Amino acid sequence: MRLLIVSNRLPVTLSRKGEEFVFEKSVGGLATGLSSALDPQHNPNISNLETLWIGWPGMDVEDPLKPALTDQMQSQFNAYPVFLPEETMENFYHGFCNSAIWPLFHYFPSYAAFKEKHWEDYQRVNQKFCEILAQKIKPGDMVWIHDYHLMLLPKLLREKFPDTPIGFFLHIPFPSFEIFRLLPKAWRSAILEGLLGADLIGFHAHDYVQYFLRCVLRILGLEHNMGKLVVEDHLVHVDIFPMGIHFSRFNEALKDPEVQRETETLKQTLQDKKIILSLDRLDYTKGILNRLQGFENFLEKNPQWHNQVTLILVLVPSRIGVEHYQLMKKQIDEYISLINGKFGNIQWTPILYQYRSLPFPALAALYHQSHIALITPLRDGMNLVAKEYLASRADKSGVLILSEMAGAAHELGEALLINPTTSKEIAEAIQMAIEMPISEQIRRNEILQRRLQQYDIVRWASEFIEKLKGMEEKQRGIRAKMLTAKDEKSLTAKFVKADRKLLFLDYDGTLIPLRDDPERAEPTSELLHALEELSKDPKTEIVLISGRNRKFLEKWFQSLPIHWVAEHGIWIKEKGGDWMLTQSARNDWKSKILPILQVFSDRLPGAFIEEKEYAIAWHFRKADPELASLRCKELLDDLILFTANIDIQVLQGNKVVEIRNAGISKGTAAMRFLSKDAYDFILAIGDDNTDEDLFQILPKSADSIRIGLTSTHAQFNLPSHKQVLSLLQRLTERSQPR
Ligand code: GDG
């Protein structure tokens, strides 16, 4: 089996030194983490899993040089480069990814810029990745796409490779609906639909899963059941996979002589000072200024600790040239000088500041020598530095002060969790950490380390990959009842051979899509034409079997020689005949129910009542989906009480509650037609619970199709009404004209 990993950056970065091309290891949580998780030496679970990494190599090169570099990267690093023109990359990466999605998803909406040309290049780059993948994918491959740069790719890929398992993992937070909705309408729908092209979508934390599912409901109207939802023809599973670290690499770092050397140097330089470590990429989301305020507050309130504490602040340069970053860097530089000037003296510099990336031995030595790690992001998807610090404490000493806004806080409850916007809380946490007895440090770290060791990077990757593999079988299960081309062929053959044919066709959701406003759900000319052609066949009887009232059917289907069933079976009108009531139904109960429905409509903007002759429908397709779901449950509850002594039934359809006489259904109406003749071909097609009554009473020899991939008494499923029209058109081609 082969796994294709797709991310914006490859784990190797290409650069040019003079005439030479050089390859360097990429830094960052994803590249280092995933590389070690997929190394068969560390992860025996994947020893027979071949991998290929697809991504941007870090620069563009002249066309003639591309084939040789591609070959070299593929053979040496298992990496396949996606070269992108620099201008596209600028709009895509600095533009859309880092100036729209990054600030917005980290709750900095005022920093977000939404520019149409950035969005266009975002789409273009996702398309380009799709084209490259299309050249590389082989049958049996799985694809794992990473992060916010490629949120449209799952859907693009699904369209080309419907059977390939596609996983997606988001490394940054997924924001709440109120923030996500700030994106222009077309973009936010496209992003959600793009992601839902995947079989499995992973997030670091429970909140992100909930926020994502809520956006899907509010924006696309799709409901989930325990994180699973059916999107067109496939099942999507949304779940939590908190990313771990390569625990032993940090825990055993001191075995490396270079780390030992670095540690010795640090010890001599810092002597017996209490060291507080702060390490981040330079970014406004990291809360570096807040951290400095907290440290300043601590020094103000704790003169007894002056001369004894040093904050080592390491900032890794990032996104140089972007305005917000330049401004922030200036503010940080100035603030550090201010604190050092205010509290320092000849012997003591409170903050030691480095603006650079460190080689691994220097990083490991810092983790090892620091008594406290102070990590205060205002928002962070996970934050692996917090986990790496804890893992590095081989003797289990040390205190982690961590922002509750970091994804890691969900797993690291024994750390000192603080609100990063409150300098008082940071200052108090520093004091508590400095003064924490060693036994308490060990007690906390034992629990934390055990957790980090158990759910490490290998487990994270293995669980995701295993779940993705499992999705293939789940998709097969859900598609088992799907009407295949072969099924359709045999259905058509039966249709052609038959002498007496009967078709039951539901209307809304089956012949046309469901609309917010039912009055606007008019039949298309294509549909009317297909029905007309089919009804010309003297051997074919068509029954339009709907919940609609008589007026609607008369308005749109007057000219067709077909039978009608209105109000779910209350009314029947046979071809050429008059409307008949199927039972001596009563409607005096309506006056009791209408006021209740009116109250509920008043309490749910967008909901409305459709009064039929012998039924009432309460529609809420246009209403706020969350509130609607709540109100619908309340209404059903109330109606049970009210209808206890009346002979009516309450049925929940698709975004509608229907109240009607008991004992009448599409099933009972269909029986009348079935008993009229000996049909040798019967086909029923419908999309909701009211059609289940029909499917259930059909003879065994009949065929039936339910629209939507839900469980059903019908023999087959079809994803949407679109396939029904094509099926009818194909049957028309095979039917005999009069
Ligand atoms: C995203 C999300 C999420 C940092 N400085 C140096 C250095 N690093 C290494 C650390 C760590 C990684 O980079 C940074 O980890 P983060 O967790 O901050 O992750 P990012 O890659 O920035 O970003 C984040 C993560 O993805 C994983 O899903 O946690 O929330 O924003 O591994 O050790 N490594 C070296 N020198 C440095 O100076 N060698």
Sheet with 656-661: strands ordered across? 608-611, 615-619, 656-661, 648-652
The answer to whether residues 629 and 676 belong to one domain is no
Whether residue 229 contacts residue 216, with contact meaning beta carbons closer than 8 Å, is answered with yes
With respect to residue 691, please indicate whether it lies within any of the assigned structural domains: yes
**259 in ligand 1 pocket by Cβ < 6 Å?**
no
In this structure, the answer to whether residues 142 and 95 fall within a common structural domain is yes
Instruction: Give the pLDDT score at 219.
Output: 94
Is the separation of the CB atoms in 621 and 656 below 8 Å? yes
Would you say residue 465 lies in a domain? no
Is 466 a member of any domain?
no
> Does the residue 618 lie in any domain?
yes
Please say whether the beta carbons of 698 and 715 come within 8 A. no
User: What confidence tens digit (pLDDT) does each residue in 216-258 have?
Assistant: 999 998 888 889 998 877 899 999 999 999 999 999 999 999 9
Identify the CATH number of the domain in which residue 631 sits: 3.30.70.1020
What's the number of domains the chain is made of?
Answer: 4
pLDDT digits (tens, 9 = 90+) for 115-158: 999 999 999 999 999 999 999 999 999 999 999 999 999 999 99
* In the predicted structure, residue 738 carries a pLDDT above the cut 50: no
Is the residue at 690 inside a domain? yes
506 labelled catalytic: yes
Return the best residue to mutate from 27, 36, 279 for the ligand 1 pocket (most ligand atoms within 8 A of CB).
Answer: 27
Distance 32 CA to ligand 1 centre (A): 9
Dist. CA 69–CA 72, nearest whole Å: 5
Judge if 204 and 322 occupy the same domain: no
Residue 90 has pLDDT above 80, yes or no: yes
**Shared domain check, 368 and 424:** yes
Q: What is the DSSP letter of 712?
A: -
434 Cα–ligand 1 center, Å: 26
Q: Who's near 75: CB < 8 A, 6+ residues apart? A: none
Q: Specify whether the CB–CB gap between 133 and 155 falls below 8 A.
A: no
What is the average pLDDT score of the chain? 92
Range of the domain at 596: 590-661
CATH code: domain of residue 392:
3.40.50.2000
User: Is residue 426 situated within a structural domain?
Assistant: yes
Confirm or reject: Cβ of 382 under 6 Å from ligand 1: yes
The CB density around residue 737, as the number of other CB atoms within 10 Å, is: 8
Are 342 and 311 in the same domain? yes
Regarding whether 281 and 427 lie in a shared domain, the answer is yes
- For residue 309, list its beta bridge partners: 274
Pocket test for ligand 1, best of 382, 392, 460 (most atoms within 8 A of CB): 382
Confidence of residue 737 (pLDDT cuts 50, 70, 90): low
Domain boundary among 436, 454, 472: 454
205 lines ligand 1 (CB under 6 A): no
> Is 168 within a domain?
yes
Report the run of H or E that residue 279 belongs to, with start and end. strand 274-281
Indicate whether 428 and 524 sit together in one domain: no
| 31 Cα to the center of ligand 1, angstroms | 9
| Listed residues 610, 628, 661: the one ending a domain | 661
For residue 430, the CA-to-ligand 1 centroid distance in Å is: 23
572 shares a domain with 437? no
Indicate whether 550 and 645 sit together in one domain: no
CATH no. for residue 556?
A: 3.40.50.1000
In this structure, the answer to whether residues 186 and 235 fall within a common structural domain is yes
In a domain, 475, yes or no: no
Token pair of 199 as six digits: 């079989």
User: Does the CA dihedral 65-71-75-81 come out positive or negative?
Assistant: positive
594 plus 650 within the same structural domain: yes
User: Which among 167, 216, 214 is positioned nearest to 188, based on CA atoms?
Assistant: 216
Q: Could you say which of 632, 661, 690 is where a domain stops?
A: 661
Q: Which of 506, 537, 688, 693 is catalytic?
A: 506
* pLDDT tier, 661 (very low <50, low <70, confident <90, very high otherwise): confident
Ligand 1 centroid–CA 81 distance in Å is 22
pTM of the entire predicted model: 0.84
Any atom of ligand 1 within 6 Å of the Cβ of 193: no
Quick one: 620 and 693 in the same domain? no
